[in-house]
Amino acid sequence: MLHKKKRLVVIGGGAAGFFCAINAARLDPALEVIILEKSNKILSKVKVSGGGRCNVTHACFSIAEMVCKYPRGANFLKKTFHHFFTTDTIAWFKERGIALKTEADGRMFPVTDSSQTIIDCLMREVNRYGIEVRMKSEVRSLKYEAGSQVSESGVGSQELATGRFIIELSDLRPLTSDFVCIACGGYPKAAMFDWLKQLGHSIEVPVPSLFTFNMPGNPITRLMGVSVPDAQVRITGSKLSSSGPLLITHWGMSGPAILRLSAWGARELAAGNYQFTIQVNWLAAYNENSLREYLQELRFELATQKISNRNPFGLPQRLWDYLLEQSGINGDIRWADLPAAAQNKLIKNCCVQEFAVRGKTTFKEEFVTAGGIRLTEIDANTMQSKLLPRLFFAGEILDVDGITGGFNFQHAWTSGFIAATAIVKCQTEPAEAS
Q: What does the alpha-carbon distance between residue 407 and residue 70 come to, in Å, rounded to a whole number?
A: 8
Q: What does the alpha-carbon distance between residue 266 and residue 370 come to, in Å, rounded to a whole number?
A: 7
With 0-12 / 13-18 / 19 or more C-beta atoms within 10 angstroms meaning exposed / middle / buried, residue 211 is buried
Q: Is the pLDDT of residue 3 over 70?
A: no
What is the model's pLDDT at position 427? 54
CB 396 within 8 A of CB 49: no
How crowded is residue 191: how many other Cβ atoms within 10 Å of its Cβ?
A: 9
What is the model's pLDDT at position 163? 83
With 0-12 / 13-18 / 19 or more C-beta atoms within 10 angstroms meaning exposed / middle / buried, residue 426 is middle
Express each pLDDT in 229-276 by its tens digit. 999 999 999 999 999 999 999 999 999 999 999 999 999 999 999 999
CB 249 within 8 A of CB 224: yes
Q: Is the pLDDT of residue 31 over 50?
A: yes
Percentage of residues of the chain with pLDDT beyond 90: 84
Q: Is the pLDDT of residue 88 over 90?
A: yes
Q: Is the pLDDT of residue 149 over 70?
A: no
Mean pLDDT of the chain: 92
Q: Is the pLDDT of residue 433 over 70?
A: no
Say what the pTM is: 0.88
Express each pLDDT in 275-307 by its tens digit. 999 999 999 999 999 999 999 998 889 899 999
Phi and psi (nearest 5°) for 234?
-130, 140
Q: What does the alpha-carbon distance between residue 122 and residue 149 come to, in Å, rounded to a whole number?
A: 38
Summarize the confidence of residues 112-126 as an average pLDDT: 98
Summarize the confidence of residues 401-429 as an average pLDDT: 91
CB 183 within 8 A of CB 10: yes
Percentage of residues of the chain with pLDDT beyond 70: 92
What pairs with residue 108 in β-bridges? 57, 102
- Low-confidence winner among 140-144, 196-200, 298-302, 328-332 (lowest mean pLDDT): 298-302
Q: What does the alpha-carbon distance between residue 162 and residue 145 come to, in Å, rounded to a whole number?
A: 9
CB 373 within 8 A of CB 163: no
How crowded is residue 225: how many other Cβ atoms within 10 Å of its Cβ?
A: 10
What is the model's pLDDT at position 160? 44
Q: When comparing pLDDT for 13 and 159, which is higher? A: 13
Express each pLDDT in 344-388 by its tens digit. 999 999 999 999 999 998 765 456 889 999 999 999 999 999 999
Q: When comparing pLDDT for 299 and 393, which is higher? A: 393
What is the distance between the terminal CA atoms of the chain, rounded to a whole angstrom?
A: 17
Express each pLDDT in 44-86 by its tens digit. 999 999 889 999 999 999 999 999 999 999 999 999 999 999 9
Q: What does the alpha-carbon distance between residue 20 and residue 129 come to, in Å, rounded to a whole number?
A: 13
Which spans in 253-406 are helix H?
256-264, 266-271, 288-301, 317-326, 340-351
Q: Is the pLDDT of residue 172 over 90?
A: no
DSSP state of 68: G
What pairs with residue 3 in β-bridges? none
Phi-psi map region of 328: left, alpha, beta (phi>0 left; psi -120 to 50 alpha): left
Angstrom CA distances, 420 to 25, 43, 289, 310, stand at 8, 18, 56, 60
Q: What does the alpha-carbon distance between residue 190 and residue 374 come to, in Å, rounded to a whole number?
A: 13
CB 149 within 8 A of CB 166: no
Phi and psi (nearest 5°) for 81?
-65, -20
